[in-house]
Structure 1
Amino acid sequence: MAPFGAVYCRRVIRDRLSTAYSRQKSYADNRKWPLEFDVGDQVYLKISPMKGVIRFSKKGKLSTRYAGPYEILQCVGEVEYELALLAKLASVHPVFHVSMLNKWIGDLASILPIEGLGVDENLSYEEVLVEILDRRVKR
């Protein structure tokens, strides 16, 4: 039979561990939110786990983290979605877990057409001075 002090210490340790566990669980639960997407939504695909399969751009820490945006074709399960991938990604299975997707937040109205902006084929433009607003001579 264990002495009274040892039983008390075990009970205190167990209580403190359960308190710490419940505190950490409440912190984690407050930061979690369910991710749900609709058919037709645009999402980015997290590609860092697939570095060994396909290299999208640079190697190492300068490599891109997300590719896309891709359109969601259908919801396969509760947390799996099928994406409309490009032809160059034909070797990759098109169904992904929701944790590998990031919602594309973009405003299509804010995208300007290049035709009326005076941009060349190589995406360069000529700067034109419109007006001099102020002038100062420094001695």
Structure 2
Amino acid sequence: MKRTWDDSLALTEFAYNNSYQASIGMAPFKALYERKCRSPIHWEEHGDKRILGPDIIKETAEKIKLLHENLRVARSRQKSYADRRRSALEFKKGDFVFLKVSPSKGKYRFGVKGKPKPRFIGPFEILERIGEVTYRLALPPNLAEVHDVFHVSMLRKYVYDPTHVIEYEPLTIDKDLSYIEEPVKIVDRREQRLRTKSIALIKVLWKNHTPKEATWEREEEIRNKYPNLFSQG
């Protein structure tokens, strides 16, 4: 009988739960039950072979060994990828970096076409390396309430250039490194025709974003949230 991929799901779960996990220093099964699980490989020692039959035991044992090996290869591959990214994003004390901040969720809707990308503020000096992938930054007084240790994924390296002048409008950053977007002006209008009705859309330019990052929004929603935007003439 031809077997499908889901026939091995139970064995996959069994192999995973009995595989060593570096994050907890043992297999999940042992962490939960404080003992090793008796696998089919050892069933012969307890007389189970007479009950289940040698063919089933052999097939199950071979599958478990294969799944263990596949999990080991997958973990090795993931570690290799993580190490490559980590080595490419290492910083040292005295380096200057930009810090990623994102628009605050739930304050407005970017649902029609795209949304503004996260911004980077700074540059800030790295004071010390805390762990393999975390760094402490020298933050200015206006960010005093923000925790000053950040994961490397939040940082972008800044290469000093004496001719480089950084021009940007200050952002009001919350503790969670988010900021509230403010619309600047309406740059375009159009209608989206549906089967039974039409929806009025406007293209909005947002503060601290370039014209290329302007987004299409429902006019009704923007009018309700930002009525002053429509009184600018």
The aligned runs of 1:1-139 (5 Å cut-off) are 1=48, 2-33=52-83, 34=86, 35-48=89-102, 51=104, 61-64=115-118, 66-77=120-131, 79-104=133-158, 106=159, 108=161, 111=164
Where do 5+ consecutive residues of structure 1 fail to align? Answer: 113-139
CA RMSD of aligned residues (A): 3.4
Which of 1 and 2 has higher RCO (CA within 8 Å, sep 6+)? 1
Supply the AA of the counterpart residue of 2:61. Answer: R
Supply the AA of the counterpart residue of 1:31. Answer: Y
Cα distance per residue 1:60-85 (max 9 Å; x no partner): 64241543332112334554422122
Assess, with a 3 A threshold, how the Cα gap between structure 1 residues 110 and 7 changes in structure 2: closer, same or farther.
farther
* Aligned mates of 2:144, 2:59 — CA distance in 1: 60
Shift, 1:41, TM fit: 0.4
* Aligned mates of 2:152, 2:76 — CA distance in 1: 23
Assess, with a 3 A threshold, how the Cα gap between structure 1 residues 76 and 30 changes in structure 2: closer, same or farther.
closer
Cα distance per residue 1:29-72 (max 9 Å; x no partner): 22223453211101232335x947xx9xx976424154333211
Cα distance per residue 1:84-117 (max 9 Å; x no partner): 223322210212234433333x3516637xxxxx
Supply the AA of the counterpart residue of 1:15. Answer: K
The corresponding residue for 2:185 is none
Assess, with a 3 A threshold, how the Cα gap between structure 1 residues 102 and 14 changes in structure 2: closer, same or farther.
farther
Assess, with a 3 A threshold, how the Cα gap between structure 1 residues 32 and 76 changes in structure 2: closer, same or farther.
closer
* Aligned mates of 1:78, 1:30 — CA distance in 2: 15
Higher normalized helix content (fraction of residues): 2
Matched-pair identity in %: 35
Assess, with a 3 A threshold, how the Cα gap between structure 1 residues 12 and 28 changes in structure 2: closer, same or farther.
same
Assess, with a 3 A threshold, how the Cα gap between structure 1 residues 111 and 27 changes in structure 2: closer, same or farther.
same
